[in-house]
Every structure is written in structure tokens, then in C-alpha cells.
Amino acid sequence: MSKAGTVAATSALHLLEQYREGTSFFWSSPQHTLLAQGERIRWSAMEVSEGSTTDSMGAVNVTEQKRNEETQLFINRMEQLMEEGRRSGQTKPIVVGAIPFDPIHSSAELFVPEKIQWAEPLSPDSRASVEKRPAAVGCEVREEPAGAIFQQSVNNVLLDLNQGDLHKVVLSRTLHVTSQALVNTHQLLRNLFRDNTHGYTFAVPMTNLSLAKGYITTDKRASVEEGNETHRTYIGASPELLVTRKGSKVRANPLAGSAARSEDPAEDRRRAEALLASAKDRHEHAVVIEAVAEALRPLCKQLSVPAEPSLIQTRTMWHLSTEIHGELADVNTSSLELAFALHPTPAICGTPVQAAREAIREQEPFERGLFTGMVGWCDSEGDGEWAVTIRCAEVEGKTLKLFAGAGIVAGSTAEAELAETSAKFGTMLLAMGLDSSVSSMKEE
């Protein structure tokens, strides 16, 4: 085995305790647990096409053709990263990290690690042994945008839905949380790992802001300035698999249509049954499934799409779920190529995609960055897993920025969509040790 390679691990808990903020990528899925440590090669890229234009607000407009060209360039750069890993002595390099919602306008956070450790997924019994403690203390919370402004944005989109060809738009908002002490990112990861028994728990080391321009480097730990002990980490627990590839086998598990859970068992079951019977949510789900299947069919010689959705649950939410299975037509199609073929799905952007992007740019007062992008890994053989980057936060020092979104379709109401985003914040708030119904918020 080369110096930069895979080593045996004792357990998922062992990997969890080896995690180090700023130098480790952590990944937990229903199939396995992964800890990637050290950076053999770091790539953080953000480039704007020469063929792009800017509007009066300074936002960059990119045609779908140009976006497709940039996507192929992105995939080519990932292959370059793999090749750099081989040249550095790795026999089977792997790239780990996160890709933003809009890779043209925001920076990716990807690297080839020095050391990789794998373990089985954490068992339910072992999960209960993880001690849960607060990860932040004395927190102040501020909304962006304020609830009333978010509701107005929803109403603006509903008007557009009634007047044109726009069918769905996903609008998001953020919570800015300030702790009195440094956020304990490792404890936050432990809490997420403990509470989220299904899905994909992750922690991604981010580039230092002073080095955030696009580059590929072989300098180890170039993303952290000398003497700078404050790290940026993107962390979360996503319930949604974008795509996984193992050999010729492909699986995707899109989610769309959601309801907040209740602590009362009878009410919780009523909400789940109401979600499954909801015409509005079933329609929203069907739009996503159709788009995912349409994207995968040209790449698969066989594709199985269930006729009806099922229910899955997290600690805070119910979701309509459809698990899609396929077999690749070309075994050289990598998990990353599959992920880009699907991204962005209507579950996190809308439909039609270009019109939904424009609505998001008009209505959201912030850049999404990694939120609603994809997080995961891809190896040199093309195998990999990519989850949709939701139920997440960016952590730096004493601050956290939480993200949540809701899909706006015909039949949506502003009040219900605001409530849905509030419920989705619950995953991160509970992991931080805060009440999920935080109410002491200051308007932006």
C-alpha cells in the first residue's frame, strides 16, 4: 500500500472520534462510513465563463448551452485531479468534498486525501452510545430574509406560476447563529451522527476565504493560513441521495413533498398519511421523479421507477420518497457524470430549470454556495456517492449559517412554506443543542 492509501478501520465510532476539524472529510451513509484525512491535492475552483453576461444587479447570466459546456469542463478537471493523485503515488485515488448549487458562480470544495479509512455503517445500538452535548452556547439567532419578506417572495413566485410556463421554484432562507463560545464542530458532528439514523451525515473542510479563488495545488493544507486556527466547515445530515454508482449499478432516491413531524404519535401518523394522500405534494413529487428518470434513461440500459412514492422519516420531517434503480449502458460513466446529469433536480431548484434559476436569483437575497449542491465522493474507477446538500450549515469560529428551502408549486401558501423551512431548520438546531422552535429571531 502506498503512503496515501486506504487503511483498515475498527469501527464507525472509531472514525468519528478520529475526525479533526479543518483537516478531515467525514461521510456516513447507509452503506458505510468514510474518513478522509490530510490533503494530497486540494482543488477549489470558481470561474465565470467569458461568454457570460451580467444583469443590472451584477448577477451573471449563463445560457444552458454554456452551462453544459462548463459542466463538462468541471468533470474534466475532476479527472485531472484524479490523475494528479496517481502521479503523486496513489494507486486508486479518490476525490471527496462538496460541489455548489451553481459551480459557475460559487467555489467547489474538493480534494484528494492523504489517507482514507472505511468502516461499516453505525449500528442503532452503537449510535445510542454516542454522547450528545450542546455544540453551541448562549446563541443569538437572526433570519435572512425575515419571515414576512420570505412570504412575500413566495407570493411573488405564485403570481409567476399563474402567469407563465414556470411550474415550480424552490426558495430558501437562512438563519445566522452566533454562539458565545467557539462552536464545537466535532460535537456537532457527533450529535448529527447520533440523531440521523438514515441518510448521509457529512463534514467538509472548506478553503480559507483569503485563498478562495480557483486553483489546483499540490501544497498540503494550502487552504489554511499559517497560524490561523479558525476553520470553516460545511456540515449537515442530508436525507436525500442524489445518486450512487457501484460498478454498473445506479441508484437515486429523490425526495419531494414534506411535512413536519409531531411529538404526539397519533398526530405524527396523521401527518404522514395526509402527506401521502396530498394531491399537491404528490404532484410536486411526480415532477421531480419524471425529471430524474428523464435524465437517467439515456445513460441506462435498464431503469426501474416505482409507480407510487413511499414515506421516509427523519427526526424532524416526513418526506415522499421514490427509489430509482438502473444499470448503466456505458460502465465508463462515473458517479460524478451521473450526478451532473441530474443536478439540479426540481427538488432543489424548480422547473423549467433556467426559469427557476432566474426566479431564485431575483427572490433570494444571498448566494446559496454549497447549499443544494452535492456532497460525497468519487473514486478513480467511477464509483461513488453524492447526496443533495441540505439540512446543513456553514460553521466558522462562533458563527453558523443554516439553510432551508421549500418547493413552491400551484396550491402552495406562503404561510405553509415558511413553516416548512422552519421545520427543516430543526435538524441543525437540535444538533446544536437548541430548541427547534427558536423564536428569538431578529429581522434582517
For residue 431, the number of C-alpha atoms closer than 13 Å in the C-beta half-sphere is: 31
- CA distances 256 to 259, 279, 309, 393, 443, Å, are 10, 13, 10, 21, 29
Which entry of 240, 358, 385, 417 is annotated as an active-site residue?
A: 240
Q: Which spans in 259-346 are helix H?
A: 265-277, 279-296, 335-342
Q: Which residue has the cell 473514486?
A: 379
Grid cell listed for 442 = 431578529
Sign of the dihedral through C-alpha 340, 338, 385, 237: positive
Cβ atoms within 10 Å, residue 203? 25
DSSP state of 436: T
How far apart are the C-alpha atoms of 85 and 117, rounded to whole Å? 17
Q: By CB neighbour count within 10 A (0-12 exposed, 13-18 middle, 19+ buried), where does 159 fall?
A: exposed
Burial class (CB in 10 A: 0-12, 13-18, 19+), 155: middle
Active site residue 362: no
Q: Dihedral sign, CA of 423, 428, 391, 328?
A: negative
Catalytic residue (one of 114, 168, 284, 385): 168
Half-sphere exposure of 351 (CA within 13 A, CB side): 18
279-296 vs 265-277: helix crossing angle, rounded to 10: 60
What single DSSP character describes residue 331?
T
Active site residue 92: no
Active site residues: 168, 240
